[in-house]
Amino acid sequence: MAGSGVLDYLYSLEKFGIKLGLDNIRALLEALDNPQRRYAVIHVAGTNGKGSVCAFLGAILRQGGYRVGVYTSPHLRRFNERICVNDRQISDDDLEELVTRLRRLGGGVPATFFEFTTAVALEHFARQRVDIAVVETGMGGRLDATNVVEPLVTVITTISHDHDDYLGDSLSMIAAEKGGIIKQGVPVVLAPQPAEAQEVLEDISGRHGCRLCCYGRDYSVVGAGDASVDITVGTERWIRLQPALEGEHQQINLAVAMAALAELPQDRFPVARRAVCDGVRNVFWPGRLQRVCYKGVQVLLDGAHNGAGAAALAAYLARVVQRRIHLVCGFKYDKDVSAIMAELAPMAVAVYAVEPPVELACPGHKVVALAGNYGRRGSSYARLEAALDAAVASAGADEMVVVAGSLFLVAAASEYLAL
C-alpha cells in the first residue's frame, strides 16, 4: 500500500472540497509539460456505468496488444486502483515519487484531491509510455479536472440523477454538464439516455460537428442466453460474446465500449476479433455484482449508490438471482436514499442498516424507517461486521445476502470478507 505520508497528503487536499473548474489542473499539467498530449485518449463521462465501460475498454485494448492506461474513481480498497497500466496498479514507489515531484513543481496551486490525483495519473501514463488512456470523469464533465484531455472518442454513459447540488436538478441540466466533455469534431458514443438528456446531448454534438453513435440506431445488444450476448455495431456483428460482468446493464456497458472501439481510427488502433472475445471474457471490475460465499451463504456485493444503480440491481435480482434476500445497506448523506430503497426494500426479507465509513452518512434509523414503509423489518447496526454477520446468520438455505449502497460500504465488506 502507498506510504501513509503520501496518502495523508493527498487526502489532506480534500479540505479544498469539490471545486469545479480547469485552472488548477491546467497549471499542474503545465508544470509537468502537459503529459496528456503524449498519448491517445478515450474520455468517458455519465452517471452510471462509467467504470464498467472503462474496464471493458481497457481489457479489450490490452488484449489487442496495446499498452493501456486506465484512470477511474473512486477506488474500492486501495488508492492505487485508480491508476493502472495494463491492469497493473501504480506502484507505491512511483506514486510517492510523482506526488513528491508535483508538490515541488505545483506548490503554489491550491489543487483539490481530484485535481492533484488526475495530474498524477496523466503524468504516470506518459512515463509508462502508454499507447492509449481510458480516462473517466470524476463527477461532472464540463468543469471536471479530466476535461483537459483531447480525446479520439468521447463516451457518455446513461445519465440519471446524482450530485444534483453540483450538476443541476433536472436531467437536461445534468446532461449539459456531462456533455461538456464533447469536443469539436470528436466522435461521440451515447449509451441509452432518457429523452430529456438525449435531446441535450444530440444538440451539443451537432453544434460541435461530431459524428454521433447512438444506442438502438447505430449499435445494439441482444441477450443470447447462457450469459452470452450478440452485439452489432454498424455492419459488424459479434455473436455469443461472454462478458465476465453479470447483468443486463453490463451487457449494455459492453455494447457502449464496443461502439467506442469502432470509433477509434482503425489505422492506429485496430483490434482483432479474438482480442475482443478474450478481453470481454477476462474483464474484472470488483464490487459490481460480485459474488462470494461466506460461512456457507451466498453474498452479493454491488455499489448501487443511486436510484438508477439500484434499479439495475433490482432487475438483476429479479431476473437472475430469484432468491429471497437479506439486504445489508448504507449510504452517503447526499444520496436519494428514498429512491434507492424504493427499488431494493420490496425485494428484501429484512434490512440491516449500517452507516458506511464516510464523514457524512445517512443515519441508520432513517434507512430502517424507509424499510418499514415497504413492510420490511429493519435493524440498525453500528458496525458493518455486526450487520453482515447478523444477515448471514439469518439467511436460510435458499436465501442470499446482498450488500449494496455506498462503495465505501462495499469496500469495507470486501475487506472483511477478505476478497
DSSP per residue, 92-106 = HHHHHHHHHHHHHHT
Distances (CA, A) of 12 to 87, 114, 251, 337: 28, 11, 38, 28
What is the pLDDT at residue 287? 86
- Residue 371 exposed, middle or buried by CB count within 10 Å (0-12, 13-18, 19+): buried
Domain spans of the chain, in order of start: 4-282, 290-416
User: What pLDDT score was predicted for residue 365?
Assistant: 95
State whether residue 306 is helix, strand or coil. Answer: coil
CA distance 352 to 333: 17
Which stretches within 179-296 are classed as H helix?
195-207, 248-263, 273-282
Domains 4-282 and 290-416 share a fold: no
Q: What is the pLDDT of residues 285-334, one digit of tens each?
A: 888 889 999 999 999 999 888 888 899 899 999 988 888 999 999 998 88
Cα(241)–Cα(226) distance, rounded to whole angstroms?
Answer: 10
pLDDT for position 9: 84
In terms of Cα–Cα distance, which of 332, 336, 283, 324 is closest to 300?
324
Q: In the prediction, which pLDDT does 20 show?
A: 65
Place of cell 451515447: 190
CATH class of 290-416: alpha beta
pLDDT recorded at residue 1: 47
User: What is residue 370's DSSP assignment?
Assistant: H
Overall fold of domain 4-282: UDP-N-acetylmuramoyl-L-alanine:D-glutamate ligase (3.40.1190)
Regions in the chain scoring below 50 on pLDDT: 1
Phi, psi of 338 (to 5 degrees): -60, -45
DSSP designation for 123: H
Q: Give the pairing of strands 132-136 and 40-45.
A: parallel
Residue 19, pLDDT score: 60
pLDDT at 174: 93
How many other C-beta atoms are found inside a 10 Å radius of the C-beta of residue 416? 15
Tracing cell 449499435 back to the chain, one arrives at 219
341, 417 contact by CB (below 8 A): no
